[in-house]
Amino acid sequence: MKKLRFAVMGCGFWAKFQIGAWMELNEHVELIALYNRTLSKAEHLAELYNVPAVYDEAEKLLDNEKLDFIDIITDVETHPVFTKMAAKRGINIICQKPMAPTFQQARDMMETCRTNKVDFYIHENFRWQKPIRLLKEKLASGIIGKPFKANISFCNSFPVFDNQPFLAELEQFIITDLGSHILDVSRCLFGEAKSLQCKTQRVNPNIKGEDVANVFMEMEDGLHCYAEMSYASILEEERFPQTFVLIEGDKGSLYLGPDFEIRITTKSGTTKELVEPVMYDWVDPDYAVVHSSIFDCNEDILMGMLGKKVAETTGEDNFKTVQLVFDSYHSAAESSIIKY
């Protein structure tokens, strides 16, 4: 089978992990070019991964190289720009979350891809974390009966701004950066919301945006889901970058807690199961649960591009998460309840 040829746009913090995950799929894909506005960063990764071409001009790359798709791993402000460039050249697109800086730009990106008949995917990997996938399986098995309440928690005091200092400059921070993940996990586990209410706070005085957000949703099946996010929480059980999830049903509960332990509690008692991330040689052990999920997300998108299945994180699907993100800001600003 002919390999799909692709280029990576952006060679910052996340690129080496994204590329490492693609290398696990090199039977099906071939990385032929890198773009970065600071060329030396592209040259460094090109040497590391034997990539034949580097560019500091995105349009020149897209015009010179014969590509099946691009993987956009740049800051959110450039996502609409690179999406439009590639779509008009008939090149399929994978774009990092969050999709776009504004709701309207996200809508325009989708329309551009539809008009030009190119595939559009969002690299949303939290739903692909091994513990969350197993939790989803356990929930679907019916072992806790009909779920009626859930809490999704990502709260810690990790100095996220050290690795990504640009985040401190964002007027809208934790919901766009982290909420894109957590609200997508809520959809993955429980389906769509029929109402939403959000409250936010800024605890860190040295940043521009909010670093605490709490989102309450009633899902279409009636389940109440509380999603809490914080980078200002100094806690006994901090496990960055782990997500904790408690789901309560009429026959029991499921709890994904610290260090990837899933506890199933029914009237018969509690059982425990550990599900640890795959330790690929390119992952940072401190980020293993996130980094290893990049492979699963890439593989799912690849199968979609190859026509073997419908990928989970298409642009169309992720747009529903985008709506929850921006509706959360609207709800917080207006102290309102959003109904769907």
Mean pLDDT on 227-245:
96
The answer to which of 87-101, 154-168, 254-268 has the lowest mean pLDDT is 154-168
pLDDT of residue 224 exceeding 90: yes
Asked if 213 contacts 248 with a C-beta cutoff of 8 angstroms, the reply is no
Phi, then psi, of 143 in degrees rounded to 5? -65, -30
**Torsion, Cα of 292, 124, 243, 238 (10° steps):** 70
Indicate whether 230 pLDDT > 80. yes
Number of H helices, E strands in the chain: 11, 15
Phi-psi region of 117 (alpha: psi -120 to 50; beta: other; left: phi over 0): left
What is the predicted pLDDT for the residue at 11?
Answer: 97
Position 135 scores a pLDDT of 98
Q: How high is the pLDDT of residue 191?
A: 98
At 285, which amino acid appears? P
Could you read off the pLDDT of 70-82 as tens digits, one per residue? 999 999 999 999 9
pLDDT at 1 over 90: no
As a whole number of Å, the CA-based R_g of the chain is 20
Q: What are the backbone dihedrals phi and psi of residue 124, each rounded to the nearest 5 degrees, phi first?
A: -115, 105
Cα–Cα distance for residue pair 245/239, rounded to 1 Å = 13
C-alpha 43/C-alpha 41 separation (Å) is 5
CB contact at 8 A, 324 and 141: no
> Considering the entire predicted model, what is its pTM?
0.96
Side-chain-side CA neighbours of residue 161 (13 Å): 18
How high does pLDDT run on average in the chain?
Answer: 97
**Residue 69 pLDDT > 90, yes or no?**
yes
Q: What are phi and psi of 139, to 5 degrees?
A: -60, -45
Q: How many CB atoms lie within 10 A of CB 164?
A: 14
pLDDT of residue 237: 86
State pLDDT tens for residues 87-132: 999 999 999 999 999 999 999 999 999 999 999 999 999 999 999 9
pLDDT-derived band at 222, boundaries 50, 70, 90: very high
Instruction: Report yes or no: 151 and 246 within 8 Å, Cβ to Cβ.
Output: yes
- Tell me the CB-side half-sphere exposure of residue 3, using CA atoms within 13 A: 13
Measured distance CA(202)–CA(18) in Å, rounded: 31
